[in-house]
């Protein structure tokens, strides 16, 4: 065996990790579970729960570290993990006792508490680096360094120096409001955690393969065939997992090889799966963790978030179907129902869909009735357990449900390490006043140009999102840029939704497009080439946020800043669909047949004009697009513009 191959962890380590992950799940659910009549388990005392829950999660991630097969590296990592774990265990104990002392009397932080806070931050960032990579961890390191050196920076970046012991101890660790286990930790526990467990159980009940077979059956008569099926399957799967990389791995192993067999390039096959899987994070009702956090930040119900993202998510998936259709025409690929290698769906496959849509429907109904997001998700988990026995695989192996709970706890424990870095960054921003300074600076530089502000914020989202999960990218950019966006006239919900969608898009944006990299590993294509192609296929996830920034009616809800009215809403939606057709055909360089350069340029121009803030520009864009389509479909194409198969 080569030194680069991974080696399995010892059996005792795997078993201990599994037991602790299951404890994390049950302990967390008990804390957020609503009262049933007079019966209530949680919530537990806040200081005790945060310290003990974080300690359990640390043990899970420490024991679950991957083995690389390099003895020297694994040995070093084990020693560092042991030291980091010991540091965090002691820090959690001190967090509890200091919390009690703060409640009972005034507590003065000294050098001892400062070093505990720094040690806890360093240990948390170590685990963050091991699970989420360098980009996420380095944000936390930069935050700590800036908190310490702020008084020595020039100009507007300079901060006022207070007591260094209190500054670091309070903002890194010993606070219920800021730091690693502060308010962000609390929001993630109470809102995101139940949905992650629900997603794990939904995956564990075995409906994923059924969704893939049904999607292939429905799309077998389209030219794109497996590519269209990949979009549909990833959309369905995305409502379950809310994770781009998990979607790629879960569905891509089936869809990507079949897309290649249909005649598409490896880069395109991987890009379709990456772009479709990325959309799962904006697909209601579960979406990604960032959407759940957004509801708390904006101060609206989760149902409002679901309604607001409905049109953008449906539009995004429709744009993927269009892009595949244009690519099929460009390559001359035609429908071939006989080429499908996936077995046709059975009655059991359709019954298995109840396992997905039953709990999701319950969530929506409970949200409409006024239940909280966490209460709705826990009710869905409770429904899913007896419902799962519809699947004969669960009836024969009921322990799969326990394994699903374990997977959920392990997934959340790993996510919590990324949240630790986010907590450090947010605390730094709060303690130093950077968002206010950034807002003033951005307003001075950009004047009153909303477009320029949106472009800068979008660039920041993409840069910060490189290699990061969507939640840390969204929270970090939201903390820095949202005050200035709102000062330029955007409502809080619209501004947050803009940042959310662009943060989601970072998973397919080169050079660090983690969803595209995962897809390229399956397709055999180039990671960068797959990322570039995925960005082209998924272009609407970049375009739609700008569209609703200037036309908030697209978000449907009054909280976006425009009262809902049917006729104006239909007009905006029709403009969006028409612009998607124009932009998709232009970037694919094909409609009924291949486009020439001047047609591509004019179609892009018309698509952009359709969402200009002036009505006369809208109408001009509509007229230009209509004329272009009329001329294109009316005239006889030259043979050189047809695919080789059709030209012959």
And the tokens for 217?
């059956």
300 falls in which pLDDT band (50, 70, 90)?
A: confident
Tell me 192's DSSP state.
I
| Most confidently predicted of 140-144, 372-376, 518-522 | 140-144
pLDDT tens digit sequence for 451-483: 887 888 888 777 766 666 677 778 777 777 777
Above 70 in pLDDT, residue 397? yes
604 falls in which pLDDT band (50, 70, 90)?
A: very high
341 falls in which pLDDT band (50, 70, 90)?
A: low
Distance, in Å, from the CA atom of 636 to the CA atom of 162, rounded to the nearest integer, reads 75
Q: Which residues pair with 39 in a beta bridge?
A: 36
Q: What is the pLDDT of residue 200?
A: 83
Whether 470 and 289 have beta carbons less than 8 Å apart is answered as yes
Q: What is the 3-state secondary structure (H, E, C) of 25-54?
A: HHHHHHHHCCCECCECCCCCCHHHHHHHHH
Q: What is the pLDDT of residue 1?
A: 35
Query: Does 43 sit behind a cis peptide bond, omega within 30 degrees of 0 on the bond before it?
Result: yes
577 falls in which pLDDT band (50, 70, 90)?
A: very high
2 falls in which pLDDT band (50, 70, 90)?
A: very low
- What are φ and ψ of residue 594, in 5° steps? -65, 145
Distance, in Å, from the CA atom of 299 to the CA atom of 322, rounded to the nearest integer, reads 36
And the tokens for 66?
């991957």
Distance, in Å, from the CA atom of 212 to the CA atom of 220, rounded to the nearest integer, reads 12
CA torsion sign for 354, 356, 357, 359 is: positive
| Most confidently predicted of 124-133, 280-289, 639-648 | 124-133
Of 342-351, 437-446, 632-641, minimum mean pLDDT range:
437-446
Average pLDDT of span 386-409: 88
Q: What is the pLDDT of residue 54?
A: 93
Above 70 in pLDDT, residue 146? yes
Above 50 in pLDDT, residue 394? yes
Q: What is the pLDDT of residue 440?
A: 65
Q: What is the pLDDT of residue 215?
A: 79
Above 90 in pLDDT, residue 316? yes
> Higher pLDDT residue, 348 or 641?
348
Half-sphere exposure of residue 540: CA atoms within 13 angstroms, side-chain side:
30
Q: What is the pLDDT of residue 465?
A: 66
Above 50 in pLDDT, residue 3? no
Quickly tell me which residue has 């804390």 as its tokens. Answer: 31
Using alpha carbons, list the distances in angstroms from residue 71 to 129, 132, 198, 557: 19, 22, 37, 56
Whether 464 and 470 have beta carbons less than 8 Å apart is answered as no
Average pLDDT of span 137-146: 86
Above 90 in pLDDT, residue 126? yes
Above 80 in pLDDT, residue 548? yes
Q: What is the pLDDT of residue 5?
A: 44
- % residues pLDDT > 90 (the chain): 15
Of 162-176, 228-242, 512-526, 577-591, minimum mean pLDDT range:
228-242
Alpha helices, DSSP H only, in 64-107? 71-104
Average pLDDT of span 41-48: 76
> Higher pLDDT residue, 272 or 457?
272
Above 70 in pLDDT, residue 160? yes
Average pLDDT of span 614-632: 89
Q: What is the pLDDT of residue 315?
A: 92
Coil vs helix vs strand at 386: helix
Whether 315 and 576 have beta carbons less than 8 Å apart is answered as yes
> Higher pLDDT residue, 296 or 442?
296
- % residues pLDDT > 70 (the chain): 87
Confidence (pTM): 0.80
Q: What is the pLDDT of residue 578?
A: 93
CA torsion sign for 141, 145, 146, 147 is: positive
Q: At what angle do helices 46-63 and 11-32 cross, to 10 degrees?
A: 150
Whether 381 and 198 have beta carbons less than 8 Å apart is answered as yes
Averaged confidence pLDDT in the chain: 81
Q: What is the pLDDT of residue 648?
A: 43
579 falls in which pLDDT band (50, 70, 90)?
A: very high
170 falls in which pLDDT band (50, 70, 90)?
A: confident
Quickly tell me which residue has 């993409």 as its tokens. Answer: 462
* CA-only gyration radius of the chain, Å: 26
> Higher pLDDT residue, 395 or 191?
395
Quickly tell me which residue has 């998700």 as its tokens. Answer: 377
Average pLDDT of span 569-591: 91
pLDDT tens digit sequence for 187-211: 888 877 888 888 888 878 877 777 7
Q: What is the pLDDT of residue 447?
A: 56
| Most confidently predicted of 356-360, 375-379, 605-609 | 605-609
> Nearest CA to 270 among 501, 590, 537?
537
Above 80 in pLDDT, residue 512? no
| Most confidently predicted of 8-17, 119-128, 452-461, 627-636 | 119-128
Half-sphere exposure of residue 296: CA atoms within 13 angstroms, side-chain side:
18
Of 38-42, 501-505, 545-549, 571-575, minimum mean pLDDT range:
38-42
Q: What is the pLDDT of residue 312?
A: 92
Alpha helices, DSSP H only, in 465-553? 470-487, 492-505, 514-523, 527-537, 540-550
Of 21-25, 74-78, 229-233, minimum mean pLDDT range:
229-233
91 falls in which pLDDT band (50, 70, 90)?
A: very high
Distance, in Å, from the CA atom of 49 to the CA atom of 425, rounded to the nearest integer, reads 23
Above 90 in pLDDT, residue 635? no
């Amino acid at each position: 065996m080569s030194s680069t191959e991974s080696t399995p962890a010892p059996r005792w380590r795997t078993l201990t990790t599994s037991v602790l992950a299951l404890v994390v799940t049950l302990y967390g659910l008990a804390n957020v579970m609503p009262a049933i009549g007079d019966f209530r388990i949680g919530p537990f005392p806040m200081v005790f729960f945060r310290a003990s829950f974080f300690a359990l999660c640390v043990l899970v991630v420490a024991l679950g570290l991957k083995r690389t097969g390099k003895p020297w590296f694994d040995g070093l990592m084990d020693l560092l993990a042991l030291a980091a774990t010991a540091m965090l265990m002691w820090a959690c104990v001190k967090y509890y006792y200091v919390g009690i002392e703060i409640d009972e009397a005034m507590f003065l932080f000294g050098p001892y508490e400062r070093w505990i806070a720094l040690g806890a931050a360093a240990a948390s960032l170590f685990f963050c680096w091991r699970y989420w990579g360098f980009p996420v961890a380095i944000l936390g390191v930069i935050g700590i360094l800036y908190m310490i050196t702020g008084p020595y920076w020039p100009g507007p970046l300079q901060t006022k120096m207070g007591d260094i012991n209190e500054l670091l101890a309070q903002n890194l660790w010993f606070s219920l409001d800021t730091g690693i286990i502060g308010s962000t930790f609390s929001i993630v526990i109470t809102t995101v955690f139940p949905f992650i467990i629900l997603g794990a159980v939904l995956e564990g009940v075995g409906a994923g393969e059924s969704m893939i077979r049904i999607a292939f059956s429905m799309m077998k008569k389209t030219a794109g065939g497996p590519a269209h099926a990949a979009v549909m399957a990833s959309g369905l799967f995305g409502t379950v997992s809310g994770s781009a990389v998990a979607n790629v791995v879960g569905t891509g192993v089936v869809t990507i090889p079949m897309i290649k067999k249909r005649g598409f390039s490896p880069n395109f096959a991987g890009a379709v799966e990456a772009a479709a899987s990325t959309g799962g994070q904006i697909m209601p009702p579960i979406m990604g963790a960032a959407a759940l956090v957004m509801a708390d930040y904006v101060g609206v119900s989760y149902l409002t978030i679901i309604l607001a993202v409905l049109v953008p998510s449906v539009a995004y998936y429709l744009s993927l179907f269009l892009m595949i259709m244009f690519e099929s025409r460009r390559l001359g690929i035609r429908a071939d129902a006989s080429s499908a290698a996936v077995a046709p769906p059975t009655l059991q496959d359709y019954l298995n869909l109840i396992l997905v849509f039953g709990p999701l429907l319950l969530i929506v109904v409970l949200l409409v009735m006024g239940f909280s997001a966490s209460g709705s998700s826990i009710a869905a988990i409770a429904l899913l357990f007896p419902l799962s026995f519809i699947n004969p695989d669960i009836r024969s192996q009921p322990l799969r449900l326990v394994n699903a709970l374990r997977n959920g706890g392990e997934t959340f424990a790993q996510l919590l390490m990324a949240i630790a870095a986010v907590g450090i960054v947010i605390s730094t921003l709060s303690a130093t006043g950077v968002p206010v300074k950034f807002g003033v600076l951005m307003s001075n530089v950009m004047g009153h140009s909303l477009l320029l502000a949106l472009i800068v914020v979008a660039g920041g989202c993409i840069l910060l999102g490189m290699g990061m999960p969507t939640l840390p990218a969204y929270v970090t950019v939201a903390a820095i840029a949202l005050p200035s966006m709102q000062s330029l006239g955007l409502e809080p919900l619209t501004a947050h939704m803009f940042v959310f969608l662009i943060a989601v898009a970072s998973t397919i944006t080169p050079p660090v497009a983690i969803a595209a990299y995962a897809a390229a590993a399956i397709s055999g294509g180039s990671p960068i080439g797959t990322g570039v192609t995925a960005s082209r296929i998924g272009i609407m996830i970049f375009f739609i946020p700008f569209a609703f920034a200037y036309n908030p009616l697209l978000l449907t809800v009054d909280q976006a800043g425009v009262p809902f009215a049917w006729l104006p809403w239909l007009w905006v939606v029709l403009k969006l669909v028409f612009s998607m057709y124009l932009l998709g055909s232009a970037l694919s360089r094909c409609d009924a047949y291949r486009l020439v350069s001047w047609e591509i340029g004019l179609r892009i121009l018309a698509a952009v004009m359709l969402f200009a803030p002036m009505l006369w520009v809208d109408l001009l864009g509509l007229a230009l697009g209509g004329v272009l389509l009329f001329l294109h479909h009316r005239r006889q194409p030259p043979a050189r513009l047809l695919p080789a198969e059709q030209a012959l």
